[in-house]
Structure 1
């Protein structure tokens, strides 16, 4: 079975359209296709996919992971709090920034949290738990993740 790597994703040969797709396409896939189109809002799918993506990233430290998040334009992460048991990471300018605020205060950036979880579990060599606790789409000032070590 053919399996792609993160490095494979950098191989592009689009001489006319280039290496970017519009944010609205990504939002459509995530929020209409997966969130609205799959059972339970696609949570199981986004968590599984995100963790797998995180595990595949070429990072060895939290700092490298946060820099890659920004380089890939996932968002601009910053550590709000860090101790021996948990880390809180805010992500500014997330993909959901600018979407209408959802009435039920639904958190929709679970894929990004799962990417953090997969990468941090690989970096630390043990299971790490990441939970989204704030989201722009729910009216919060930024998206935020609580990392339990």
Structure 2
């Protein structure tokens, strides 16, 4: 069976509907289908999916990774802290921006963090750990990830 690559995903032939789907469809799949429909909020599923996506991205540097996040409209990332063992990456305009704030402190952008983790682990050829520490749906002004190198 053929395995798809990131390059395969760029091949489009939708002459009427084009290459975009509405953000509300993506949100519905993520937050209703996976987060509400699977055990443990679908976390193990989104982490596995995100890491695989990250590993498949054609990036070799952190700058390329941040650029592809913007190009794919995942969000607008920027590094706010960097030392030899840790990075903090803020993602502005994340997919969850504008959703109602949840009453409980909840992080729903684990897929995006796992994409970062997969890409960075491949880039550094070692295990990298990424944890979402702020999320728009919890009332924070942006989503933020702590990256342990």
TM-score, normalised with respect to structure 1: 0.99
Query: Where does structure 1 differ by over 4 angstroms across 4 or more consecutive aligned residues?
Result: none
Distance 1:19 1:45 in 2: 25
CA-to-aligned-CA distance 1:73-107 (integer Å, 9 cap, x gap): 00000000000110000000000000000100110
CA distance in 1, matches of 2:44, 2:127: 17
Aligned pairs for 1:56-135 (under 5 A) are 56-135=56-135
Distance 2:2 2:101 in 1: 40
Instruction: Give the RMSD, CA atoms, in angstroms.
Output: 0.4
Aligned position for 1:53: 53
Secondary structure of the 2:79 match is strand
Deviation at 1:129, TM superposition (A): 0.2
Q: State how far apart, in whole Å, the 1-side matches of 2:133 and 2:34 are.
A: 20
User: SS at the partner of 2:130?
Assistant: strand
Gaps of at least 5 residues in structure 1 are none
Task: State the alpha-carbon separation in 1 of the partners of residues 6 and 116 from structure 2.
Answer: 15
What is the match of residue 14 of structure 1? 14
Encode CA deviations 1:37-73: one digit per residue, 9 max, x unaligned.
0000000000000000000000000000000000000
Unaligned runs of 5+ in 2: none
- Secondary structure of the residue aligned to 1:77 is strand
Q: TM-score, normalised by structure 2?
A: 0.99
